[in-house]
Amino acid sequence: MNGITTQEAAKRLDVDESHVRRLIQRGIIKAERFGGKSWVVDSESVEAYKQSPRKVGHPRKQKEEAQ
């Protein structure tokens, strides 16, 4: 694994570090704990996420049909 910091991953993805940590917690980006609080992020996983298509925003709520 080519490891980078969460700060570097955030810079590459143009997002906040907290977003990178959420991606790690959800298993979307691979990473390993280092020294208790720090993460070593897999750079290939970051690049794969960067290239993947994503939807923007939240999905719309479905309107309930009138009965």
pLDDT digits (tens, 9 = 90+) for 9-23: 999 999 999 999 999
Residue 21 has a pLDDT of 94
Q: How many C-beta atoms lie closer than 10 Å to residue 32's C-beta?
A: 12
> What does the domain layout of the chain look like in residue ranges?
1-12+37-52
pLDDT digits (tens, 9 = 90+) for 32-43: 998 888 999 999
Please tell me the pTM assigned to this model: 0.75
Helices (H) and strands (E) in the chain, counts: 3, 3
